[in-house]
Each structure stands twice: as C-alpha cells, then as structure tokens.
Amino acid sequence: MKYDFDKVVDRTDTESLKWVYPRKVLKVGDAIPMWVADMDFEAPPAVVEAIRRRAAHGVYGYPLIPPSFWQAAIDWLKRRHSWDVRKDWMAKSPGIVPALNYAVRAFTKPGDGVIIQTPVYFPFYHAVENNGRRVVRNPLRFDGTRYTMDLEDLERKLDEGGRMLILCSPHNPVGRVWTRDELETLGRIAVEHDLLVISDEIHHDLVFKGSRHVPFASLSPALAERTVTCIAPSKTFNLPGLSTAAVVASNSKLIESFKEETERAGFELGQVFGIVGFEAAYNHGDDWLDELLSYLEANVDFMENFLEERISGIRLIRPEGTYLALLDCRGLGLEPAALNDFFLKKARVYFSDGALFGEEAAGFVRINFGCPRPVLREALERMERAVASI
C-alpha cells in the first residue's frame, strides 16, 4: 500500500461537524462519530499539495473557472465510467444538495410531485418540501438482506402525478449499486411516462468488486435527453468541505434552465480552493482511489465478521459501494426511537438514525465506516459491550 489509511488523524480541534457535534454539542466527550458522510482520511497528497501551493500564493480573489477544471471532470468520467461528456453540457454547483434544490426549482412548479425512493438521503425530502413541492414516496423493496426498486409502485405513483424523480445512484443509505438491468427498466418507465430524472451520482466512484456503476444518462440518447446528473469528487476523495460540484445534462434546455436557477440564487463564481482541489483530485487521484476502495471493502469484511461472531441482534446490510451501510438492529429488542441514543450514551458511538432516511428504516442505524480500521474496531468493541449490558 502506498497510502496509509490506518493512520489516525486527530480532528478534534478542527471545525469538523462530524466530530464537534456529538462531542461538544451532544456532550459525549469521547464519542466516536460514525454519522455524517465524510471520511477520517487525509485527502490524496496531490490534492493537499495543490491546495498548499494555491494557499501559499496569498491572494484569494474571485475565481474564473479555468477550462482545465472542466477537462479534469470530462477525462475522469471517460476514464473511470466510460462516459463521454462535453463542457457545454456542464454547470458548476457549490454542492450536490444545492444542485438538488436548484433542480427542483428549475424543473418543477410549486405543488408538483417529486418522486424519491425511500429510505433515502434525507436532504432529498428537504429539497422537495422546502421548495413547496410534494414528496411522492416510492419505497424500495427489502427482502431482509437486499433492497431493490419497486417499479410497479413507481408506475402507480407516476399515474398519480409525479413528474420528476430524484434517483440516488449508488444509493445512500441502502448501499445498492444499481445494475444496468435495473437502470434500463427504470429508464423505460421514465421514457414512457415522460419523467425527468435528477440522478445524484455523488457516490459513483465508491463501488466494490463485483458491481459496476452505470451513469443513468449513458444508457441511451432518450435517457440523456431527460436526465441531469450530479457529480463531485467530494465523497470519492473526502473533500466535502471544499464545496465544489458539477452537474451534467446533454439537453441544452435543461442545462440552461439549471444555470439560470444558479444565477437566481446568486451563485455565479466558485471557491478558489474547491476549484483547485476538484481538478487535482480528478487528474491525479486514480491510484489513491483504487487503494481506498480495497481498504473500505476490507472494512466491510471486518465489520461483517465482527458482527456475526460477536454481536447478536445487529446485522449488516452489506453495501455494494459507498462508505455507508445500514445496520439492522431490530434484533436488539429496543424501541426504534431509543436506538441512536442507546448507541451514543451506552456505546459512545454516534450513528445516523435510520428513521431520518424514512420510516422504512426505523430500527436501523447508518454507520459511516470511512475511517481507519483501529477506530472501526474500537467502535465495534464499544457496541459489543453496550449490547451485552441490555
């Protein structure tokens, strides 16, 4: 291994949301934070170096995004995802959550239904509801180990008036990397019902062996026409604090409407360090990412074995990608509403409560396993002791 993912970096005295919130706001001073989706790893050295070089310049005026920024994303999508895109199909965004909000405002009207596949990343609900649109739920099917899309239910929901779908691909929190078949079936329904798809592919690089991410818009020209894809290096390379993302749509009407909405929101320029970090990550991050993926997958194996051998009542829903996974804790016999608090107070491990993502995930928690293995081991040992005390 060229990169040391076992290295524990102390983040306690930084402004980290992940670390400050459970320790200083919820006041569990030694809690291990395994909730919000950032990893505890240092960014790739090429990113750190590029930002250091830019910081040393000392002048941080308004930026104009250089062509090399877009080229880095174009090359990345081609190299890693076999997807050909063009600069004039792209727009920038300070993040994917802002992009979802812009998209809801740009492509729907107040009162319109927007479909989401629950349980799902909870800002999807906010992007719809905070903009006066209606959430139309298309719950995923769960057979006890694996989630799939319920496409019959989706067709019913479309008949009831949903006109836009926010797709989470790969899916947070259920950890599915949708197969080409699943996406093609979804795509057929989208074309038949004239559905617009906002495809949040922020986790697209974080895919384990045996699965392959397929960009939804790459499936066919008809789908490209009706899809806006959200991408960013922020999950892949652990740069979410740099607030820099992009959207891609080959349909010029869609990309122009999206840009107009970002202008209405007053977001025109960009963030100096975000631009530099985005470009460096996409240009020089391949081998770091390959090693990260092996490390994360080994974390999944470690966690799965530990839970199977040492903690009864908690089951890992094995993820096919991302660094997030659901733990099915219904076997513990605790009230779902008390679950997250139990782990925080008794185990001193802070998760995201499953119910945040939808009522379907009550009794589950979401673990963020994007951390050094010694930290993961310590968290699991704390959980083991807490569960033994029930």
**Cβ of residue 103: shortest distance to ligand PLP, in angstroms?**
12
Q: Is the dihedral of CA 329, 332, 333, 336 positive or negative?
A: negative
- Of the two residues 232 and 376, which places its CB atom closer to ligand PLP in the complex? 232
- Is residue 232 part of the contact set for ligand PLP (CB under 6 A)? yes
**Cβ of residue 14: shortest distance to ligand PLP, in angstroms?**
17
Contacting residue, 101, 108, 234, 262, with ligand PLP by CB under 6 A: 234
Contacting residue, 96, 106, 326, 376, with ligand PLP by CB under 6 A: 96
Alpha-carbon gap, residue 105 to 360, rounded angstroms: 27
- Of the two residues 206 and 316, which places its CB atom closer to ligand PLP in the complex? 206
Q: Which residues contact 63 (CB under 8 A, 6 or more apart)?
A: 269, 270, 271, 272, 275
Strand extents, DSSP E, the chain: 32-33, 90-93, 113-116, 134-137, 141-142, 147-148, 162-168, 196-200, 227-231, 245-248, 315-316, 324-328, 349-350, 352-353, 364-368
**Cβ of residue 2: shortest distance to ligand PLP, in angstroms?**
27
Q: Taking contact as CB under 6 A, which single stretch among the options 18-26, 94-102, 106-114, 326-334 is the one that binds ligand PLP?
A: 94-102
- Of the two residues 31 and 168, which places its CB atom closer to ligand PLP in the complex? 168
Rg (CA), the chain: 21
Q: Taking contact as CB under 6 A, which single stretch among the options 41-49, 72-80, 91-99, 286-294 is the one that binds ligand PLP?
A: 91-99
Could you count the other beta carbons within 10 Å of the beta carbon of residue 156? 12
> What Cα–Cα distance (Å) separates residue 18 from each residue in 6, 14, 368, 382?
19, 10, 11, 19
Q: Taking contact as CB under 6 A, which single stretch among the options 57-65, 95-103, 134-142, 359-367 is the one that binds ligand PLP?
A: 95-103
- Of the two residues 117 and 172, which places its CB atom closer to ligand PLP in the complex? 172
Tell me which residues touch ligand PLP (CB under 6 A): 37, 95-97, 121, 168, 172, 200, 202, 232, 234, 240, 245
